[in-house]
Structure 1
Amino acid sequence: MIVMLMHQIFLKDICRIVNGLLKTALGVTPGSTTTLTPAQDQTFRIESVKCLATILKSIGSWMDQQLKIGDFSPKLSEVSLNSLDNPNIFIGEDGSGIDYELQSESYIPDLSGASSLEQRRAYKIELQKGISLFNRKPSKGIDFLTKSKKIGHSPEDVASFLRNTSGLNASMIGDYLGERDEFPIKVMHAYVDALNFEGMDFGEAIRHYLRGFRLPGEAQKIDRVMEKFAERYCKCNPNSFTSADTAYVLAYSVIMLNTDAHNMMVKDKMSKSDFIRNNRGIDDGKDLPEAYLSTLYDQIVNNEIKMSADSSVPQNKQPSSVIKLLGLDNIINLVNWKQAEDKALGANDLLIKNIQEKFKAKSGKSETVFYVITDTTILRFMMEVCWAPMMAAFSMTLDQCDDKAATSQCLQGFRSAVHVTSVMCMQTQRDAFVTSVAKFTYLHCVADMKQKNVDAVKAIISIAIEDGDYLQEAWEHVLTCLSRFEHLHLLGEGAPTDASFLTAPMIESEEKTQKSSTTTASKRTNALQNPAVMAAVRGGSYDSTTAKNNASPLVTSDQINNFISNVNLLDQIGIFELNHIFAHSQRLNSNAIVAFVEALCKVSITELQSPTDPRIFCLTKIVEIAHYNMNRIRLVWSRIWKVLSDFFVSVGLSENLSVAIFVMDSLRQLAMKFLEREELANYNFQNEFLRPFAVVMQKSNASEVRELVVRCVSQMVLSRVNNIKSGWKSVFTVFTAAAADDRKSIVLLAFETMEKIVRDYFPYITETETTTFTDCVKCLITFTSSKFSSDASLNAIAFLRFCAVKLAEEGFVCHEKDADHQPNSIDSSDGNAIVHKDDHVYFWVPLLAGLARLTTDTRPTIRKGAVEVLFDILKDHGQLFSQSFWTNIFESVIYPLFSSEICTPNGQSNSTEDESWNFETKTVAVKCLVDLYVTFFDVMRPELSRVTSVVTNFIKSPYKQNASTGMSVFQRLTDGLASKLSKEEWKEILLCFKESAADTFVVFDKIIKMMLDIQIPEKNESYSEAGQYSDHDIYNEDEEEANMETSSYAIVKMKNHMALQLLIVQGIIKLYETHRRSFCAEHMGIMLEMLSVITSHASEVSSESGLHMKFHKACSLLEISEPAVIHFENESYQSYLRLLQALLHDNPSLSQYMNIEKQIMLVSVKILRTYLNCAGHGPPKDASHRDSVVHWALPLGSAKKEELSARTSLVLHVMRLLSGLERECFRRNLPLLFPLLANLIRCEHSSGEVQVALYDIFQSSIGPIISV
């Protein structure tokens, strides 16, 4: 209670003091009486304001003293440097001396071959000298040791020296590893690459990493060291994080947690929930598992990260040793830790508790004790009760008084108030004071400006420079003032405004109109009447950001003169002072620079969006501060760029073309500067940096902006290609969008750069992530779809072939590896994605899959080119692929080419154009497939059945061209593989062939059913007059027309069907003639069965008299030729008999096993009987009728004569075959043949050729048998 009472009394007293001073500062209230003279009253008011300003200044000074603001403690490495004067003693990690004689032995090489002990001693002394020099100046020490040949010149040798040599100062090792020069960077890389973090937990890896050195004190050096650690950890543990950026950020968080948890000076420790919250979204926008972060938190909190020698350092010797030990005293502000700020707001209880404890401790003593307060939290209470009266006093005095001394004290009070409230994180109070000063600048209303307002501008500049680290959101008010000041400065100098070129077309037209109606004398007046000047002269409220319409179109001469006079007051402030603020931005801490950039972007957008007076002041400053701060550590620069990236995208899509072009050019300048920095592997920041180009390219409606983006990216690629890593993704995204652009110039411009990239810079693409090459392929494929230039499309396909050649040259081989060295399989959501365990697959698959997709293009040249290039790549480089890779390629790339989904564009079918599209593409593809399969048969042998199925699917196609192609490539396949096929493989091919042939009969069944279901009219009937048609007649006519269309279709299908059967028959015969030595009885049985089925089918077709009649009627009406049914039957039987005869002659033993003789007799008998039936002679009569009188038959009709004539050739073929049989064979079958031959004798309608052939049989075959 006593403490609370004292606290209340204290605050009440200070409140009374401030209020009293406020009343005095405001002077005598109107209507009241006073004995003071005006001079005395003015003096009291000035002194009161001075007192208030002095209070704030004292508060600020005490706060700075307690918080050590501006006090920089020396680095640990600079302590006790005098002890280094002794070359044999060096300062150890705990400050104790270490004798080199004991510690440097670990690096001394084997000198057993030295000539004397003196040489060893001299070597040792020189080595100690180098180590001593290193501990003072690391770079000079390394130079000395390398020149004296104590260590090698390579980065690996130096790294080994730093890692293994005792006696080196750990702080100096860390300092050297963090240097920015080229050689120390290489040494640092070699040092880290020598460490093995494989299988280590992240916390354990950091401990292992920091055992050999202390982190340097400079933030830039720490950034380089931790950046390399993150890359190395991700290489050793590729599945640990999405990218190295995640490990990089998490490493900083772990270091911060270690400092927070084990530094005795930190009172408010970070909780586990705080640690988890601070690391949200660091894994490429996703959260790391909470359990993982929780475990990591427990490890660090329970076990401090130390160097190996730190365990011996007593903790009570120096409370802040932990933070200095790790070199973290200068990086506490690297991460946006807000918990300390938040907890400070509720520190009342802590303060009360502290006072209570002190009173209790002194309660037994009677003397009065003065307590010295060191906790700055008390300032918050003081400012909370007195800030409002103070601001009122300063504001009213500054507004009402023009006295130099009074206004100076007021502005000093404002500055002190801003300083205290900013440092104490009192956001509301800070913003109130900053806003008040900004309003008093009167930059928004120059006509009323006075000297005190100019002083207010100076105060704003001072605040920006001195308290920039603490302004946060208040930066927006400061930068708004600076923007307005610069605007007035340009107007005062008479320089052209930014609007003169940002809105050039509009302004130029207005000037042309005015020139025709003005005189030379009035030009100056008109110049002063431009919108920008008039808006500035009229002025406005502080919050107004754009010029508003005014009822008066012009301003008066007095207003203009007053404006010019007041603008001249601003000459007291040089433009260099404004520039100093932006140059000074590189000194702002990590949180402050982000807030500064955010505010600058807001003000810039306000400038650019002005409809009457757009300006680019802040935009140019954004480019400047980006240059100034680009060398910040990656963690901070990433936060800065996130803000800038969104800004550039927003402004790059502006409707004002000039603004959009200007901002994209500014982004180009930044990108060129940024790409001078080399990016390590597995990082993604380049891609994030260039992302605005890609977004603007995809979303901008202005062709000029899109063309500029392409030119900017092209320039960056051509000039910075050595340093581009992850940025390739954005580059190809830009060019992909350009390839699909509707402006020809943009397409050709982008393709020109793509051509340069693929031809000259291909290794840079493949050395980065595999997805980079995928993006390149997608880009080239998009160019093939260009509607402007077929040459560009074909060249893009040619570049895809070139990519394959370069992949092969660079050794991207897809051979199978040992199981222990295989990376994880790909997990893709794409159903056609190939899964393989070889990393190089990721390069080949996009290339091949992309070409496969091009086979669906609507342009014939592109389709054909894509198919040819696809199979050429596989054929030329197939030796690089493993069997498993081939299997995946067949499943995901080749077989889908012949599926129904991609054979018909847009899912449509049954159109002549689509059928032609299918035929052209599939014909080229199947020929290429067969050639490819024959070439790599040994590797792709398991695919035999699938490949054969693809080929035979062409054979059973209802289209003659496809069937012809199928038979051609089938012959090609068997000819190419004949010597390599086993008996089982031959059987597999023949069975697939047989199955396809059997499927063709389904078409015939449909034709028969179709023809039987329709009625063919007897003749065409015509009517002479339209009036003779009745509704019934019209219906019948429509039905007959439909029937005739159906008949026409059926006839065409019938002809195609017979042609296909003959192709199959010819293919069987050719297959036997070419590969008969490879066939066994089982193989021949399959082929003979196929021929038997086809001949039987042909015989059935010819015997369908009703079908023939319908075909005859339809063909007569349609005036087309009839299907050659008899020819089909003759050719089928002749081929069948030819194969049987050849088999009987070539392989007697096989013929006897398969009973070929019997098959010949059965076929011959069937043919002779068919001929006799056609001639009108049925089977021979029995014996009871042999003596009856023979009568001549009636003459045959014309149709029968034509049929009999057509069958003559087949009968002659049979009779010649019979006459050529061996005597014993003929004798055995004579009882079966003789009755048929006898009937031929009495067949008066047979041709003379048949009679001659019959004579030959009787003379050459039957005669000798009878004579015997």
Structure 2
Amino acid sequence: MRGKNVEALSTLLALCDTEIDALKDSWSTILECISRLEYLVSSPAMTATIMQGSNQISKDAILQSLKELSGKPTERVFLNCLNLPSESVVEFFTGLCSISAEELKQTPARVFSLRKVVEVSYYNMGRIRMVISSPDEVLLMFLVWARIWSVLAKHFILAGSHGDEEIARYAIDSLRQLGMKYMERAELAHFTFQNDILKPFVVLMRSGRNESIRRLILNCIVGVIKSKVGSIKSGWRSIFMIFTTAADDDLEAIVEIILEQFDQVIGDCFMDCVNCLIRFANNRSAQGISLKAIALLRICENRLAEGLIHGGSLKPIDIPADGTRDVIEFYWSPMLAGLSDLTSDPRSEVRNCALEVLFDLLNERGNKFSSSFWENIFHRVLFPIFDHVRQAGKESSISSGDEWLRKSSVHALQLLCNLFNTFYKDVSFMLPPLLSLLLDCAKKTDQTVVSISLGALVHLIEVGGHHFGDQDWDTLLKSIKDASYTTQPLELLNDLGFENDKHHNILSGDLEIASIKTIVNGNALNENQETSRGADVEDSAGMASPSGRATKPTDGGGLQRSQTLGQRIMGNMFMRTFTSKPKNLSSDVIAPSSPSKTTDATTEPDTREEEESPMLATIRSKCMTQLLLLGVIDGIQKKYWDKLKAQQKITMMETLFSVLDFAASYNSYTNLRSRMHQIPDERPPLNLLRQELSGTCIYLDILQKATAAVNSREEDTVKEEKLEGLAEQKLVYFCEKVLRDTSDFQSNTEETTNMVVHRVLELRAPIVVKV
């Protein structure tokens, strides 16, 4: 370093003071010289290196000159940037940030230019003035400021991501101070400089994984909210983006601080607020956070409905539709969809809270929803709640570990049906897809899913059937008819799959829908006789032997009276009336008693589950579905028979007869006798006697109602008369067939003393007696 070098530097700095408009793209070079000057003055080791060969007097003079230049002359360069024209000031900031980036790469990193970036940013705040002479000047002002901030934002992101945590913290804190200063200035309408200022925090939050840095960013934003909440406008958008990113953090204290700020927020960034709260509600680190977020969502909904959010207030549906309808749906849809997703949360309190808030909201505001919006709600909010139920039969059934899915599905289906009934006039057009949901689930192989869906169907009909019109009844009965055909256990007709003892043992234990209850001792016999006296199709899980005769004892002392889980569920579901709250179904189900050990086999509790094939599960599920569908039909004919048209009653007869005819064919005397020869004496044969007896009772009730004199409407008299004649023919034919089959079997049997014959007659006796 020589005296001429110092003189050249002095001349350059003087030009920055006198010829400021002429420098233009030379600012990068000038600022690099200033950066090196500061480095020389602040680093004695570097000063000694570049001054080798000079005498001490010369060194001291040069060093003193450099220190003088690094003082006021250098400071004037940065102060004079206020007077730079628009193009030049952008070049100035670009050059300064470029030099700062190079300093940050050094080892150790330097922050001289970074400090100057913060300083000149303060100096140039005056470029955003609120008193403007013309709209063109406003536009020009913000275009220049936007270009400046684009450069600054990239550099703050670079510095805030620095590997040295101290430098990163300095950059973030400097950005905070700068943001606080900008927030003091009122934001003009249609401009978003607040949002732009806070965007670097968003990027840093999304890209950074250092917990200390993330905590610092959140503290900075919370500080901005607390001190400038009244001034924040477009800045809310970036704030919510930051909070949304932090929603997954396991920082409960910080998250609590964030949630405390939400009740201060309404207005321009409502959607960002909602999306952020939904993200917080999905935070698994603390259940309290999720519940508080859901509660805040409810507050947001209230403010939206009350008209505190511009464009989001609901209008009565009788007001002519206009473009605002789409705006309203834009506000409501994400909130409803977010609550819908939360109904499948594995945490029971969160799941139940979301379910309650969702349906409370719909029940409270639904009277102002349009038909098109209701359709979107059903398809995008309500039906997706049951996707896991619809998928259950494809891969695996609902396991015992997912019992919460079962309970929540029962409750959700009840709430869905109640909602449908409440707004029937507005949503009646959604009956077909609702029935499709329920009956699609009823066709699954998972017995729990079947029970849930058909139980909900019964609830829907019981509570809302009085609302149904003719078209609705047509849709319902046709859907039930299709489901009954689809779920007929046709696999039972193929005997090839059931010839070995292993399969038979499984089926006879769990698929005998109506088996003779086997009795072990005198106490069991007395209990069975008491039960058989009052036995009815609706309150017995199986058929008691008419004679009450004990079965052949085994070496282990006989077989205990068995009742399968599937039978018990069917018996309970057949009678159950759903309420608005879910019940613990496990309390209604009595575990099946295991047979006593016999000489030929010992069955472990889980042997059946391990050995059961998919085909056996399918058959069991279909049998259960058929029985539950009979219960649905029975409920309709008991409560709504007089509301049905003649053709609808005929449809019910056809559906019933299809189920009954299939069961009767499988339970024919010949088939039962044939199957008895293939099993031990103490076991009942495979049969569908429960379906046949239930179907017979219901079918006879319907035929008797149809043949009875009923006061029908005048216009339906002809159709009712035709129905009466058809019902009489079916009644005579059915009774004649049952009695003739019994008579033919007895007359064609020579071995009248054969035990098999007596057992077959005993099995079918309840049906004959009923006829």
**TM norm structure 2:** 0.74
Please name the residue that 2:469 is paired with: 982
Q: Output the CA distance in 2 between the equivalents of 1:1069 and 1:676.
A: 73
Cα distance change on mapping 1:1007 and 1:681 into 2, 3 Å: farther
For 1:1016, give the aligned amino acid: N
Does structure 2 retain, via aligned residues, the 8 Å contact 1:732–1:779?
yes
Match of 1:462 among 8, 11, 14: 14
Q: CA deviation at 1:564?
A: 6.6
What is the CA deviation profile of residues 349-383 of structure 1, one whole-angstrom value per residue up to 9, with x for unaligned ones?
A: xxxxxxxxxxxxxxxxxxxxxxxxxxxxxxxxxxx
Does structure 2 retain, via aligned residues, the 8 Å contact 1:1051–1:1111?
no
Match of 2:286 among 779, 786, 789: 789
Cα distance change on mapping 1:1165 and 1:897 into 2, 3 Å: same
Q: Is 1:1194 the equivalent of 2:678?
A: no
Amino-acid identity (%):
28
Cα distance change on mapping 1:682 and 1:1196 into 2, 3 Å: farther
For 1:782, give the aligned amino acid: R
Does structure 2 retain, via aligned residues, the 8 Å contact 1:661–1:705?
yes
What is the CA deviation profile of residues 1198-1219 of structure 1, one whole-angstrom value per residue up to 9, with x for unaligned ones?
A: x4333322332333322xxxxx
Does structure 2 retain, via aligned residues, the 8 Å contact 1:814–1:841?
no
Q: CA deviation at 1:921?
A: 5.6
Please name the residue that 1:1093 is paired with: 658
Q: Is 1:721 the equivalent of 2:208?
A: no
Does structure 1 retain, via aligned residues, the 8 Å contact 2:93–2:148?
yes
Q: Output the CA distance in 2 between the equivalents of 1:618 and 1:998.
A: 81
Q: How does 1:806-1205 map to 2 (within 5 A)?
A: 806-810=303-307, 812-815=312-315, 822-823=322-323, 837-854=325-342, 865-898=353-386, 904=391, 909-910=395-396, 912-913=398-399, 919=406, 922-1001=409-488, 1004-1009=489-494, 1011-1013=495-497, 1015-1016=499-500, 1050-1103=615-668, 1123-1145=686-708, 1147=710, 1150=720, 1153-1155=723-725, 1156-1174=727-745, 1176-1178=746-748, 1194-1197=752-755, 1199-1205=756-762
What is the CA deviation profile of residues 828-881 of structure 1, one whole-angstrom value per residue up to 9, with x for unaligned ones?
A: xxxxxxxx8532221111212333344565666655554444333222221232
What is the CA deviation profile of residues 117-144 of structure 1, one whole-angstrom value per residue up to 9, with x for unaligned ones?
A: xxxxxxxxxxxxxxxxxxxxxxxxxxxx
Q: Output the CA distance in 1 between the equivalents of 2:190 and 2:668.
A: 77
Match of 1:478 among 30, 35, 50: 30
Please name the residue that 1:755 is paired with: 259
Q: Is 1:538 the equivalent of 2:108?
A: no
Q: CA deviation at 1:643?
A: 0.9
Does structure 1 retain, via aligned residues, the 8 Å contact 2:317–2:369?
no
Does structure 2 retain, via aligned residues, the 8 Å contact 1:817–1:838?
no
Please name the residue that 2:122 is paired with: 627
Q: Output the CA distance in 2 between the equivalents of 1:985 and 1:876.
A: 25
What is the CA deviation profile of residues 550-575 of structure 1, one whole-angstrom value per residue up to 9, with x for unaligned ones?
A: xxxxx99x999986775344454573
Q: Output the CA distance in 1 between the equivalents of 2:722 and 2:322.
A: 58
For 2:302, give the aligned amino acid: V
Question: Which of 1 and 2 has greater Rg?
Answer: 1
Q: Output the CA distance in 2 between the equivalents of 1:1084 and 1:992.
A: 14
Task: Tell me which of the two structures has the higher relative contact order, counting C-alpha pairs closer than 8 angstroms and 6 or more residues apart.
Answer: 2
For 2:701, give the aligned amino acid: R
Please name the residue that 1:799 is paired with: 296
Q: Output the CA distance in 1 between the equivalents of 2:246 and 2:55.
A: 53
What is the CA deviation profile of residues 496-546 of structure 1, one whole-angstrom value per residue up to 9, with x for unaligned ones?
A: xxxxxxxxxxxxxxxxxxxxxxxxxxxxxxxxxxxx532342239xxxxxx
SS in 1 for 2:188: coil
Does structure 1 retain, via aligned residues, the 8 Å contact 2:706–2:724?
no
Q: How does 1:646-795 map to 2 (within 5 A)?
A: 646-741=154-249, 744-745=250-251, 748-749=252-253, 751-761=255-265, 763=266, 767-768=267-268, 772-795=269-292
Gapped regions of structure 1 (runs ≥ 5): 1-441, 443-448, 492-531, 541-554, 824-835, 1021-1041, 1180-1191, 1215-1268
Does structure 2 retain, via aligned residues, the 8 Å contact 1:867–1:924?
no
Cα distance change on mapping 1:598 and 1:863 into 2, 3 Å: same
Does structure 1 retain, via aligned residues, the 8 Å contact 2:156–2:175?
yes
Q: Output the CA distance in 1 between the equivalents of 2:294 and 2:502.
A: 59
For 2:381, give the aligned amino acid: V
What is the root-mean-square deviation of aligned Cα atoms in Å?
A: 3.9
Q: Output the CA distance in 2 between the equivalents of 1:904 and 1:1061.
A: 21
For 2:472, give the aligned amino acid: E
SS in 1 for 2:326: coil
Cα distance change on mapping 1:1138 and 1:577 into 2, 3 Å: same
Q: Output the CA distance in 1 between the equivalents of 2:427 and 2:293.
A: 30
For 1:734, give the aligned amino acid: I
Please name the residue that 1:579 is paired with: 75
Q: How does 1:488-507 map to 2 (within 5 A)?
A: 488-489=40-41, 491=42
Q: Output the CA distance in 2 between the equivalents of 1:990 and 1:903.
A: 22
SS in 2 for 1:839: helix
What is the CA deviation profile of residues 749-797 of structure 1, one whole-angstrom value per residue up to 9, with x for unaligned ones?
A: 5533442343232x2xxx32xxx33333332333344342233234333
Please name the residue that 2:516 is paired with: none
Q: CA deviation at 1:641?
A: 0.7
SS in 2 for 1:998: helix
SS in 2 for 1:722: coil
Q: CA deviation at 1:882?
A: 1.6
Q: How does 1:41-60 map to 2 (within 5 A)?
A: none
Question: Aligned pair count?
Answer: 644
Does structure 1 retain, via aligned residues, the 8 Å contact 2:205–2:217?
yes
Does structure 1 retain, via aligned residues, the 8 Å contact 2:633–2:652?
yes
Please name the residue that 1:437 is paired with: none
For 1:980, give the aligned amino acid: H
SS in 1 for 2:162: coil
For 2:117, give the aligned amino acid: I
Q: CA deviation at 1:1124?
A: 5.0
SS in 2 for 1:640: helix
Cα distance change on mapping 1:629 and 1:652 into 2, 3 Å: same
Q: Is 1:592 the equivalent of 2:88?
A: yes
Does structure 2 retain, via aligned residues, the 8 Å contact 1:1015–1:1043?
no
Cα distance change on mapping 1:1204 and 1:604 into 2, 3 Å: same
Q: CA deviation at 1:730?
A: 1.8
Q: How does 1:126-275 map to 2 (within 5 A)?
A: none
Does structure 2 retain, via aligned residues, the 8 Å contact 1:675–1:720?
yes
Cα distance change on mapping 1:1167 and 1:1106 into 2, 3 Å: closer
SS in 2 for 1:654: coil
Q: Output the CA distance in 1 between the equivalents of 2:374 and 2:15.
A: 70
What is the CA deviation profile of residues 616-654 of structure 1, one whole-angstrom value per residue up to 9, with x for unaligned ones?
A: 222122111111111213222111111111111122221
Does structure 2 retain, via aligned residues, the 8 Å contact 1:868–1:928?
no
SS in 2 for 1:838: helix
Does structure 1 retain, via aligned residues, the 8 Å contact 2:664–2:692?
yes
Q: Output the CA distance in 1 between the equivalents of 2:284 and 2:348.
A: 14
For 2:290, give the aligned amino acid: S
Q: Output the CA distance in 2 between the equivalents of 1:471 and 1:1112.
A: 110
Cα distance change on mapping 1:534 and 1:890 into 2, 3 Å: same
**TM norm structure 1:** 0.47
Q: Output the CA distance in 1 between the equivalents of 2:417 and 2:677.
A: 42
Does structure 2 retain, via aligned residues, the 8 Å contact 1:1126–1:1203?
no
Q: Output the CA distance in 1 between the equivalents of 2:641 and 2:57.
A: 113
Gapped regions of structure 2 (runs ≥ 5): 128-140, 505-606, 713-719
Q: How does 1:9-48 map to 2 (within 5 A)?
A: none
